[in-house]
Amino acid sequence: MVEQSGTTVPAGAVSPLAEAVVDLSAIRHNVALLSGAAAASGAQTMAVVKAEGYGHGAVPVARAALAAGASWLGVCTLDEAMELRAAGITAPLLSWLHLSGQDFAPAVAADVDLSVASPAHLAAVLDGARRAGRPARLHLKIDTGLSRNGVQPREWPDFVDEAAKAVADGLAEVVGVWSHLAHADAPHHPTLDRQAARLNAAWQVARDRGLHPLRHLANSAATLTRPDLHFELVRPGIAVYGLDPLDRPAAESPLRPAMTLRARVVLVKRVPAGEGVSYGHEWTTPAETTLAVVPLGYADGVPRRLNFRGRMRVWLAGKSRPVVGRVCMDQIVVDCGQDDGVREGDVAVLFGSGERGEPTAQDWADELGTIHYEVATGVHGRRVPRTFVNGADEADGGAAW
Ligand SMILES: *Cc1c(COP(=O)(O)O)cnc(C)c1O
């Protein structure tokens, strides 16, 4: 049996043209490293599995992370939180981006911790708690300098008063006081210390009201580089997936990238010299050559501008080979030159860990002028099913092709 996109299908019944292979042993390796670092400073680890586990699949990643040393999970939306609960995951789970008009009763009933970042959000969550008939678990968010979500420091004391009143009324428990860093990828940037000091001041206000919340601030980069900012809980995301938040080359990073994006060649053919290839004929065959068609394109998360400079490569039949011409919606064309060893059905690796010589998500990000976060989350699960390998309790699926 092969697990794809969270559902189990009989092996062989579905033969996807393309897939994102997610190595759960890499997830466990990365989480063990992160939670080990956190534990060394007495902190727990929240594995962030928002955005479908950064494109890797939230539920299988969450299970692997919990097996490897994480004790919390973090997501962005209530839908994401409820999906994890529906899958039977009972670990502490924080959700942090909401409308104050949402109905929070189901989330409170499902024991989802809720971030609140304004009096209106707090009131809505308390209303949910009343209707659910149990106290809400709150994480009060302070804006320490990112100026995105969170309560401004000057409004904080009144906000904490409201939360303390809800606790006294039996409507809430204040589990955390938290914030998010603006320059975590620059570990010595002066804003890190300033944000930590503001978090501590906010936490002290809560302590002065008799509350005993956890503090949490560190994302992946700060988990790896700033043990002094671990506080009681860290929230790594990108590093869980093996993408290095400090942009170290694959060979120097202790992390292992978990995702391999690959597809089977659907057609191999000889084309004469002087023929234009793909839309707009941006590339012309310099001599008779062998072309291979690979069924992945910009609708799947292979950005069209990845080959604007003609530098995109794939790993195919034991070699790195150039993609020629424009990336289309569903396809790319690979030049195999005079190599007659490439066959329909062969596997082209678009990106992976880099260990076999294939490009990495970091290589794509460099070419695109973006970050690997965008590359991984850009792989569209609907067209590119995820195949999970090296799970703790399931047979390997699909690894061989
Ligand atoms: C996404 C996110 C994280 C994880 O950040 P990484 O840089 O991926 O480690 C942590 N906290 C919050 C609030 C986030 O939105």
Which one-letter amino acid corresponds to residue 197? A
- Classify residue 372: in a domain, yes or no: yes
45 and 167 share one domain: yes
Q: What are φ and ψ of residue 225, in 5° steps?
A: -120, -15
Distance 235 CA to ligand 1 centre (A): 6
233 and 179 share one domain: yes
Strands 136-141 and 113-116: parallel
Of 27, 219, 246, best ligand 1 pocket probe by most atoms within 8 Å of the beta carbon: 219
- Classify residue 285: in a domain, yes or no: yes
Secondary structure class of 213 (helix, strand, coil): coil
206 and 277 share one domain: no
- Classify residue 43: in a domain, yes or no: yes
Q: What is the DSSP letter of 239?
A: G
225 and 263 share one domain: no
331 and 196 share one domain: no
233 and 95 share one domain: yes
Report DSSP letters for 273-311, one per residue: TT-EESGGG-EE-SSSEEEEEE---GGGT--GGGGTTS-
Distance 241 CA to ligand 1 centre (A): 12
Encode pLDDT of 173-187 as tens digits: 999 999 999 999 999
Cα angle value 224/229/232 (rounded, 5°): 100
- Classify residue 15: in a domain, yes or no: no
Of 180, 240, 241, best ligand 1 pocket probe by most atoms within 8 Å of the beta carbon: 180
CA dihedral 356, 362, 363, 367 (to 10 degrees): 170
83 and 175 share one domain: yes
Domain boundary among 172, 207, 240: 240
Domain boundary among 240, 272, 291: 240
CA distance 84 to 93: 9
- Classify residue 401: in a domain, yes or no: no
* Per-residue pLDDT at 316: 98
177 and 287 share one domain: no
* Per-residue pLDDT at 383: 85
Residue closest to 262 by CA, chosen among 19, 32, 60, 57: 19
What interhelical angle do 119-132 and 156-168 show, nearest 10?
10
264 and 220 share one domain: no
* Per-residue pLDDT at 8: 42
**Helical segments of 71-185, H only:** 78-86, 105-109, 119-132, 156-168
Encode pLDDT of 297-343 as tens digits: 999 999 999 999 999 999 999 999 999 999 999 999 999 999 999 99
> What are the tokens at 108?
């409170």
Q: Give the count of domains, the chain.
A: 2
* Per-residue pLDDT at 380: 84
**Number of Cα atoms under 13 Å in the Cβ half of residue 321:** 25
211 and 349 share one domain: no
> What are the tokens at 309?
């400079």
* Per-residue pLDDT at 150: 96
* Regions of the chain short of the pLDDT cut 70: 1-14, 393-401
Residue 50 appears among annotated catalytic residues: yes
- The finding on whether 48 has its CB within 6 A of some atom of ligand 1 is yes
- The finding on whether 53 has its CB within 6 A of some atom of ligand 1 is no
CATH no. for residue 155?
Answer: 3.20.20.10
- Classify residue 252: in a domain, yes or no: no
Distance 48 CA to ligand 1 centre (A): 7
Residue closest to 198 by CA, chosen among 183, 184, 186, 180: 180
206 and 332 share one domain: no
CATH no. for residue 294?
Answer: 2.40.37.10
- The finding on whether 237 has its CB within 6 A of some atom of ligand 1 is yes
The boundaries of the domain holding residue 219 are: 24-240
Position in ligand 1 atom list of the atom nearest CA 373: 8
* Closest residue by CA, ligand 1 atom 13: 180
- Classify residue 247: in a domain, yes or no: no
Strands 214-216 and 172-178: parallel
Q: Which residues line the annotated binding site for substrate?
A: 148, 329
64 and 188 share one domain: yes
Position in ligand 1 atom list of the atom nearest CA 220: 9
- Classify residue 7: in a domain, yes or no: no
